[in-house]
């Protein structure tokens, strides 16, 4: 079974709102001249500009998955829709719709999709409740969360109720960069994505480790987008700081590499060498195939790509392509 842990979707209630020209949780849904999705409110615009594929309701997606040898996609919304800056009430309604829509899509195509919930993290209590609802009533396998919540990092105790709920329900947290804080120092050239996103992800990983979240919630399972960003490459430097600096001492005497190997990472590195390095650093049982579908920065034909890697033997390929996700998420193979 081949599983894509990192795939984005536009909720169908947004598509319905577009079709019937009704607002969707305070946003007008429109289609740009180039075919992209635009969600606009007075205060804010969400632009899904990297693909026109978001208009598909599932049929074309399944066709493409078949041609790529993908059995299952684990669906999350485009991270521009995380909406942590919205008023709590608006965010609660938005997340609830998104989660219901994804659950419906999972039901409609048995065995082909699994769902990651979206949480109103600007209110950690609401977020924890919505995570429990998604896991227990909607059959979600986890939630997609941002690398930070309006500037609050994952070492902050105010977010711990969410980690606690994730541990208690067995939810996988999939951490994805959204609002890139270093944007102001980047001169364009899509560096917001190519440099900013992997740096955001590294900050989230370091915050989670230094904030003792992994010591406090030992059964917590967290997967990071884009191969963990820049942090696998910096693990030696982090470990050196752990040894020589009091302010960079890791909790509980564990090494940085040890903490890193207790996390999960998707395979989206766009480099066989980088993926081989990640697998060497954390183990083939910690890496999950991802595409970032349908983003233009994603990996096409992912199964073929992973199989072509010299750095992975056939057992590692099988684990990365789906075995790890099946174990982690309790997915069942679809009946033919």
**Binding positions for Zn ion, rule: CB under 5 A:** 292
Using the minimum distance from each CB to Zn ion, give the nearer residue, 278 or 295. 295
The residue of the chain with the least Cβ separation from Zn ion equals 292
Q: How far is the CB of 226 from Zn ion (least distance, A)?
A: 8
The 8-class DSSP code of residue 74 comes to E
* CB nearer Zn ion, residue 49 or residue 164: 49
Task: Identify the CA nearest to 90 among candidates 55, 57, 138, 122.
Answer: 122
Least distance in Å: CB of 197 to Zn ion? 9
Q: Would you say 238 or 306 has its CB closer to Zn ion?
A: 306
| Minimum distance of Zn ion from residue 79's CB (angstroms) | 6
Write down the least CB distance from residue 177 to Zn ion, Å: 8
Residues shown for the chain: 336
Distance between CA atoms of residues 51 and 204, nearest Å: 26
- Residue 113 CB coordination number (10 Å): 23
CB of 267 to Zn ion, least distance (A): 13
Q: How large is the C-alpha radius of gyration of the chain?
A: 19
Q: In this structure, what token pair is assigned to residue 269? A: 């590195």
Return the number of the residue (4 or 292) whose C-beta is nearest Zn ion.
292
Instruction: Select 294 or 322, whichever has its Cβ closest to Zn ion.
Output: 294
Rounded CA gap, 229 and 224, in Å? 8
Give burial (CB, 10 Å; 0-12/13-18/19+) of 183.
exposed
């Amino acid at each position: 079974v081949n599983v894509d842990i990192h795939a984005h979707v536009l909720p169908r209630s947004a598509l319905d709102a577009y079709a019937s020209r009704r607002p969707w949780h305070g946003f007008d849904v429109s289609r740009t001249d180039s075919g992209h999705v635009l969600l606009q409110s007075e205060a804010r615009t969400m632009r899904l500009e990297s693909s026109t594929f978001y208009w598909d309701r599932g049929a074309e997606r399944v066709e493409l998955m078949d041609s790529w040898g993908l059995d299952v996609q684990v669906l999350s919304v485009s991270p521009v829709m995380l909406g942590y800056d919205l008023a709590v009430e608006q965010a609660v309604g938005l997340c609830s719709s998104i989660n219901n829509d994804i659950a419906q899509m999972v039901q409609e195509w048995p065995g082909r999709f699994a769902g990651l919930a979206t949480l109103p993290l600007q209110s950690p209590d609401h977020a924890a409740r919505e995570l429990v609802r998604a896991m227990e009533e909607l059959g979600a396998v986890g939630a997609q969360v941002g690398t930070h919540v309006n500037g609050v990092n994952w070492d902050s105790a105010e977010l711990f109720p969410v980690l606690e709920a994730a541990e208690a329900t067995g939810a996988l947290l999939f951490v994805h960069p959204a609002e890139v804080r270093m944007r102001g120092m980047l001169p364009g050239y899509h560096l917001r994505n190519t440099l900013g996103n992997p740096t955001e992800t590294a900050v989230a990983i370091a915050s989670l480790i230094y904030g003792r979240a992994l010591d406090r919630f030992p059964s917590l399972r967290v997967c990071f987008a884009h191969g963990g960003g820049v942090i696998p490459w910096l693990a030696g430097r982090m470990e050196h700081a752990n040894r020589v600096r009091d302010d960079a001492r890791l909790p509980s005497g564990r090494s940085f590499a040890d903490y890193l190997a207790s996390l999960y990472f998707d395979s989206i590195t766009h480099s066989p060498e980088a993926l081989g390095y990640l697998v060497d650093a954390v183990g083939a049982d910690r890496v999950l195939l991802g595409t970032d579908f349908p983003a233009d920065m994603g990996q096409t034909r992912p199964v073929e790509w992973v199989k072509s890697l010299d750095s992975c033997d056939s057992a590692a390929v099988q684990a990365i392509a789906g075995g790890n996700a099946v174990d982690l998420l309790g997915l069942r193979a679809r009946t033919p």
